[in-house]
């Protein structure tokens, strides 16, 4: 496996881990907070936290090539 392929896999794994942790945070907030008044800020904050994870997944191939170019 080349450096670019390995870096791509790492970026995808990191993005999936980040998205998974945010989804667990959302589910925990839904089940722990009984009142609806805290749900809007929680969902807004969690939605903003999803953005870096999705960017890492979608842009994993160019970021992997960029990282591999720095290693070579």
pLDDT in tens, 4-61: 888 899 999 999 999 999 989 888 888 887 776 777 787 788 888 889 999 989 998 8
Predicted structure pTM score? 0.78
Instruction: Give the model's pLDDT for residue 72.
Output: 62
- The sign one gets for the Cα dihedral 51, 57, 18, 52 is negative
How far apart (Å, rounded) are the C-alpha atoms in residues 30 and 22? Answer: 12
Instruction: Give the model's pLDDT for residue 25.
Output: 85
How far apart (Å, rounded) are the C-alpha atoms in residues 64 and 5? Answer: 7
């Amino acid at each position: 496996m080349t450096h670019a392929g390995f870096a791509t896999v790492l970026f995808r794994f990191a993005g999936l881990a980040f998205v998974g942790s945010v989804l667990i945070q959302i589910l925990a907030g839904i089940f722990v907070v009984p009142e609806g008044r805290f749900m809007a800020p929680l969902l807004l904050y969690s939605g903003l936290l999803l953005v870096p994870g999705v960017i890492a997944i979608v842009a994993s191939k160019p970021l992997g090539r960029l990282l591999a170019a720095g290693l070579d």
